[in-house]
Amino acid sequence: MRKSEKREKIVQILNEHFPDPDVPLDHVDPFTLLIAVLLSAQCTDERVNQVTPALFLKASNPEKMQFLSQEQIYKIIKPCGLGPQKSKAIKKLSQILVNNYNGLVPQDLESLETLPGVGHKTASVVVSQAFGIPSFPVDTHIHRCAQRWGLSSGKNVSTTEKDLKKFFPTEQWNKLHIQIIMYARKYCSARGCFGLECPICRACYPKRKSKFKHKKP
């Protein structure tokens, strides 16, 4: 199968299953999205969505969040895991946003990545989904599917991100990021399909007979 044929087939199947994908983390603005994505590290989106209403009821902007104690934040976000680190990061980044950015979330990756608790993936999600800037954040779901579908060697998430950006047109990145995550969770899960069962795996490799062996991110 030619590269262009594979790309068209993957996009077609994703559009059939998830034509209008939305960010699975509940939020109302860039700040609440930033906090939700930060909390989602090593935690499910469902758990984050259960926790954030109580947190945002107390403080839905950096001006208010900076005045919550780390302990107050921790008590609310504890179910998300990594509570001490995340609560410290949330308080500190809120202070930085107020002091350095007039209380606004910066719109560039470089500035976002300087904030406590904000790595490249988190920053990429925020710029793409809050500001519409083309980006292709790679999580474990996308990393797994990129290997199964033959889009990347899977050497590491950085390589996978670069490979996907080369494979798909820039204008499709933001939508595809959400679509692939949703598709992976439902049809191409870590403990299911293994490159043999889902529509995209079958379309990309119809003759594959044995389970695909992954490289870890």
Residue 90 scores a pLDDT above 90: yes
Same domain for 148 and 87: no
Clarify whether 139 is annotated catalytic: yes
Same domain for 34 and 119: yes
Please tell me which residue in 9, 139, 162, 215 is annotated as part of the active site. Answer: 139
The answer as to whether 22 is a domain residue is: no
The answer as to whether 217 is a domain residue is: no
The Cα-based distances of 146 to 100, 165, 184, 185, 215 in angstroms read: 38, 12, 10, 14, 11
**186 lies in which domain range?**
136-204
Residue 217 scores a pLDDT above 70: no
Domains contained in the chain, number: 2
Please tell me which residue in 86, 121, 163, 175 is annotated as part of the active site. Answer: 121
The Cα-based distances of 139 to 28, 35, 70, 103, 182 in angstroms read: 23, 17, 28, 28, 12
Same domain for 122 and 52: yes
Clarify whether 121 is annotated catalytic: yes
Same domain for 123 and 36: yes
**pTM of the complete model:** 0.94
Same domain for 174 and 109: no
The pLDDT tens digits of the residues spanning 39-74 come to 999 999 999 999 999 999 999 999 999 999 999 999
When the pLDDT of each residue in the chain is averaged and rounded to a whole number, the result is: 96
Question: What's the CATH code of the domain at 141?
Answer: 1.10.1670.10
